[in-house]
Structure 1
Amino acid sequence: MSEQSDIAQYAAQVGAALSDLPEQVRNDLLEDLPAHLAEVAAELRAEGAGATLADRLGPPSAYAAELRATLGHTGGPSRTAALVGRAVGRVQQRWRGVDRGLGPVIGYERLGDFLALLRPAWWVVRGWLAAMLVAQLWRDGDGPGLLPRLEGSTLLGLFLTAGAVIGSIWFGRRTLARPPARRSARLALGGATAVLAVFGLVLVVEADDRAARGYWETAGGYVVNPYDQVSDVFVLGADGQVIPGARIVDQTGNPVLIGWCAQSNHNAFDANWEWRIVYPACPDVTPPQLPWAPASPAPLPWASPSPGGVIPSPSADPATASPSAAAPSAKPSLTPSAQVSPGS
């Protein structure tokens, strides 16, 4: 039996199993069926194992039962769902034209034949992106890095990545062997794939921005950022002790991020993430041992004494003496002074 006749026979049997439904409802359910069957048949042909549509999708009666279950109510699919289905069908039709047109350019009958060879690599990348997304939602992930971090631990991130990659490969092989028959399941899978793809693009952009921030532009070219090797910052108070939970702002009141730990906590899904960074930003960090830092709260060695803490001596400052002692009185005396002449 040829491929086209197999598709037509399978679609006819599915339609016969749905013959009890109203004509409009049945047409909406079967509208995208030929295109979907053609895609599955093309995958089977590329695999070359000789499998049939029934082997991959199950018997037509079971496939029809799954389509019937997508109704959810006796009134059939809504008008919005029907419009979305038609739009998806038109996009798929255009993609098939592009698929056949670009295939010979790269030496394949269809572009999909080449993309099918990259499917295992995509499974690995999908698992890594899923692990990175989990770490970002945990608000402890290193967006621009190669591995996610959980609770500040790279080892936990490595285990998370390994589990996500293994799960992605298992899920990919499972869906390849038996693609979801329900349209809602296919749309959900495609939507999740699109979310991961967009998230991966965001990671690439953030990594590029972080690399660009490692250099400062000057009139003579580029110089290395002097703070590029700083991992964390400790804010000290007047007593020389570390102030936990401190924030640093610039002259305009915007938060200043210094150190790897502060910058690696970038969360593209949180608009106020910069204000959530407090210093020290690295988890479980130990303050450095400073030779001039006192063990107990005390003024720093170079701290100048407070102006209010010094009481001036009355005799030390002539400016503080009584005005009568510093200058003669301008008011004439009422008692005349006696003058003694030597000759009297």
Structure 2
Amino acid sequence: MNSTLTGVVAIYLAQVRAELSDLPPGELEDVLEDVSGHLTEVAAEFEAEPTTAALQERLGTPREYADELRTAAGYPPRTQPVADRDAGRKALRWGLIAATVGPFFVAIGIFAWSHEETLFFGVLGLAVLFGSAYLGVRALRGNDPRIVLETPRGERGAAAIRDLIDQIPPNVRRELVTIGQPVWWVARGAIGGGGFFALFGAGAVTVVGALAGAAVSVWIGRRTQQDPRWLWYVVPLNLVAAVAVPAFLAAAYMGASFGFLNNYGDYSSSGASYTPDGLVLNGMTIGNIYPFDAQGKQVTVRLYDQDGNPIALPRDDCDARFGRVDHSTTSNVFPLKIATPDESGNVSEETCKDSDKASFVPPPAPATTATPTATPSTKPTTPTASARPSVTLTVQPTR
């Protein structure tokens, strides 16, 4: 069989071979040798590489062409066993589940906002993907994977894909196969391998994981060309990669906080860090401050920063809650008064009361001792640090 055929002509020849696969091996090769020569002659009649539609208009569909060969050579018509038709339908059904449900859950995990959600949906999606793909391969029952194309749904899907391929100029198709395909193999493997280690915060080995993933991805691509059954795994993984690769690249470029990146890898740009408004302590927003003196008595203070600017927080008293003052009103007098709920746990305008009393008792202040002087003096002295009143500030994080 002539191996120099490429593109649409090579695909057509492969489909004719599938239609004649029930012939004895020796006779099949002889027939295909003649078919290859005929297809080479027909392809030469076109000015450029023929499209699928043009080739089928000239020769008929691969099945029609194969049927003419059978009639001319005196071979009986091909009959597909019922078991093969059932196997094709089941294999295609599991393949569709692997290619839709699995990637759907993985995509939810990629854009989730929490560690737990990403792990849950990611593991669920991969389990559905690989489980369905495995069942699809098992459903083939050792038959040639091309039997799925002999089902009504498979024929329609294959025709739709061929029509899309025909829309691509022949020179672009060749470039996609020779250059684009290896690049895609590397990209999907690098994102998959690096993303796996980023899931567990293993930043030091993320690069190693990306390189290993690229190597495995290239091996899988080569393996798929030799054994079409791998398509049940590769096609769903390609769909996952088609979502993950642009998401990673966009997040790395713009510093977007996708859940998969925001929770497990440091991919955000240095200029895109998020700083919350208000007063923050150890990453938590402060909603109120309760000052206490050295004796544990709550006091009222006014707070300023090192430049004399008020350290103010939004008010949450009855006036602020029910619109009696502007909602953006702040105060630097602490503790702030807070609207307290009534006995039923509600805060209503009629029964609303303000309170600035702390709901806790602060720990005792550290004891201090004053050093006695050797000689009494009648001159006025400046109070020592231990004699000065001290204030303990207790902050209340916003819940």
TM-score class, shorter-chain normalisation, is 0.3 to 0.5
Answer 1 or 2: which has greater strand percent: 2
Taking structure 1 as the reference length, the TM-score comes to 0.37
- Normalised TM-score (structure 2): 0.33
Q: Larger C-alpha radius of gyration, 1 or 2?
A: 1
